Amino acid sequence: MIEARGGWLLPGLHDHHIHLRALAARDDSVPVGPPQVIGPDEFAAALRRACVRLPTDGWLRGVGYHESVAGPLDRDVLDHLAPDRKVRVQHRSGALWVLNSAACRAAGVDSCALPGIERDAAGRATGRLWRLDSWLGDRVGTRHGDLAALGARAAAAGVTGFTDATPDLTANAIDALAAEVSSGALPQRVHCMAPPARTRPPDDAFALGPTKILLDDTDLPTLPAFIARIEAAHAIGRPVAVHCVTPVQLLLTAAALDDAGILSGDRIEHGALIPADTLNWLRRSSVTVVTQPHFPVERAAQYAADVDPADRPDLWRLGSLRDAGIGLAAGTDAPFGGADPWAVIRAAMHRPEPERLSLTAAVGLFLGEPAHPARRRRISSGAPADLTLLRLPPTDIIVPSRTLVAATVIRGEVVFTADTTVRYTEGSAVPTATDR
């Protein structure tokens, strides 16, 4: 029995786009990008401090790098700053790893023929690895990080489920994640994006989700190749989740989905720039846009500098998508965005018109079904008991934040209670229908 004292009871928050392993690993990583590190001097100092602090035979893992700090990186720049140990630095986009020479040797980069290994005119590897996150993870001995600590923090924020949006997960990575869930180390349900080749019987807490497809403006697939990828996923009943951050990526995706046909559950990830003339297609095709309303806040300085004023109305649309009848949901995209869903909710409520959402609509971005993120879950008798209890009723909430979370219940288990204001009695009689 939980005494709710009039607080708002929500179906549990589900973070519809997150990268669990990368988020856990970030906790023992060195931030090397804004806002913590600004300018080449601070970058060099951050690496120097980490070299002193960390064991010499281990990897130094820098995260959050952006060119505004010290320009483009390659192995020579990193060799100059940290020659004696294995260093790898991840770009904030998640698309690029830069390794120094010691790291290149350890990971076998120089002898690897994969197209993601960038090479200079003379054929020497530059240390820049594009979209090779899973390959690199298998090479350097993936540390799964502490998923239990991550899960506990998320439970305290009212999160009862995650959709892991990491592309091209290996079978090993999927098994490891599923094991963390079945052991209870990670209490949340996980809906895990996966390539069509990966299969496993769904269970109550861990299921495979859509196939993630990454697009990159500098290396777009041909339309027939793109259609074939979508059809391969659809053929085994798996929807696609297509990463679209530019108008050209969205237009190509629209053309490919028109040809391949839509499968219920198909989704657009991010939708960072959505031109007005694509809104009709989005509504007609009934794909869901899974967006990050907090990015305009977290990346305000970069957008002010880099985004053409003419494109700004198309940047991170939110309310205008809802008004156009397009299915919407949100994910934190942590660690590439902040991991707190309440910061996302606040950001959604503080957008200028017409993108602003009400408190209820903003919270609703996290209340979708994992497989159909725009379809809201409801609290009802017989539904899975994934619940987030807040201290206050919605009418009393002025600034939504994680401190409002009074209790979190996942599959009927209380995994978090904030303090003694929530009285909780284990094993009490089940309330009858009339009590409810």
Chain-centroid distance, C-alpha 254: 23
Sheet holding 13-18: strands in order across? 13-18, 159-164, 189-192, 206-208
Q: Does 333 bind Zn ion (CB under 5 A)?
A: yes
Cβ contacts of 21 within 8 Å, gap of 6 or more? 137, 142, 144, 145, 147, 164, 166, 173, 177
HSE value, Cβ hemisphere, 13 Å, CA-based, for 186 = 25
Asked if residues 161 and 370 have their Cβ atoms less than 8 Å apart, the reply is: yes
Stretch that binds Zn ion, among 73-81, 260-268, 331-339, 390-398 (CB under 5 A): 331-339
How big is the CA angle at 226 (ends 16 and 245), to the nearest 5 degrees?
Answer: 45
Stretch that binds Zn ion, among 140-148, 157-165, 308-316, 403-411 (CB under 5 A): 157-165
Q: Does 178 bind Zn ion (CB under 5 A)?
A: no
Asked if residues 68 and 149 have their Cβ atoms less than 8 Å apart, the reply is: no
Stretch that binds Zn ion, among 26-34, 159-167, 177-185, 220-228 (CB under 5 A): 159-167
Tokens of 126: 């530059």
Stretch that binds Zn ion, among 135-143, 160-168, 213-221, 364-372 (CB under 5 A): 160-168
The distance of closest approach from Cβ of residue 157 to Zn ion in the complex, given in angstroms and rounded to an integer, is: 19
Number of residues that bind Zn ion (CB under 5 A): 2
The distance of closest approach from Cβ of residue 390 to Zn ion in the complex, given in angstroms and rounded to an integer, is: 27
Q: Does 215 bind Zn ion (CB under 5 A)?
A: no
The distance of closest approach from Cβ of residue 47 to Zn ion in the complex, given in angstroms and rounded to an integer, is: 26
The distance of closest approach from Cβ of residue 149 to Zn ion in the complex, given in angstroms and rounded to an integer, is: 21
Q: Does 298 bind Zn ion (CB under 5 A)?
A: no
| DSSP one-letter code for 351 | S
The distance of closest approach from Cβ of residue 337 to Zn ion in the complex, given in angstroms and rounded to an integer, is: 8
Torsion angles phi and psi, residue 56, rounded to 5: -65, -25
For the chain, the C-alpha Rg in angstroms (whole number) is 22
Tell me the sheet residues that pair with 288: 267, 327
Stretch that binds Zn ion, among 279-287, 330-338, 371-379, 388-396 (CB under 5 A): 330-338
Closest CA to 64 of 40, 86, 93: 93
Q: Does 165 bind Zn ion (CB under 5 A)?
A: yes
Nearer to Zn ion, 86 or 92 (CB): 92
Look-up of token digits 């669990």:
20
Nearer to Zn ion, 333 or 340 (CB): 333
The distance of closest approach from Cβ of residue 112 to Zn ion in the complex, given in angstroms and rounded to an integer, is: 25
The distance of closest approach from Cβ of residue 53 to Zn ion in the complex, given in angstroms and rounded to an integer, is: 29
**Single-letter residue type at 251:** L
- The residues that touch Zn ion, with contacts defined as CB under 5 A, are 165, 333
